[in-house]
Amino acid sequence: MKKGRRHILSMPCLAGARLRLLLPSCRNVRFDGVEVGSLTPDARPSLVCEDVDGLRLSAWSALTGSATGPDVRLENVRDAFIQSCGSARKSGVVLKVGGTAASAIRLSANAVSPAATLFETAPEVPQGTVTIGDSAR
């Protein structure tokens, strides 16, 4: 993809269909104003990123969540900025971060229920990988 070029991804789903985005080994991924949900409960995260360099999520919204798993899962993601995202989750973890190569994940102005946990890191994630702040680099 050429620099500066934008692509719109539209995926109509049949009633009851489940949608999940899986991004393996990508660079410079950006989502802005995306709402993801399903008609029936789904235990899978709405977004899974594995081995991604340069992730920007702005106004990502998981309209339906799993009672058992996170809405978004990041594995070995580097240089991520997640801002103004929301979750319909009433409890549990919204963002799960894993992987020994995970680094520089910044969160800002994300809305979650008071009973929900914004993020959780797996034991192998280096300490200080996830920070909460106001701006992207």
Q: What percent of the chain is predicted at pLDDT more than 70?
A: 79
Tokens of 51: 């081995």
Residue 109: its pLDDT value, please?
92
Q: Please give the Cα distance from 54 to 1 (Å, whole number).
A: 15
Residue 26: its pLDDT value, please?
87
Residues 6+ apart with CB under 8 A from 4: none
Tokens 């899962």 correspond to 73
Length of the chain: 137
Per the DSSP assignment, residues forming a β-bridge with 50 are 24, 75
29-50 pLDDT, tens digit per residue, is 998 988 887 777 777 788 889 9
Residue 7: its pLDDT value, please?
46
Residue 90: its pLDDT value, please?
75
Average pLDDT over residues 15-27: 66
Q: Please give the Cα distance from 107 to 135 (Å, whole number).
A: 9
82-126 pLDDT, tens digit per residue, is 999 988 777 788 899 999 999 999 999 998 888 788 999 999 999
Residue 20: its pLDDT value, please?
60
How many helices and strands in the chain, by DSSP H and E? 0, 13
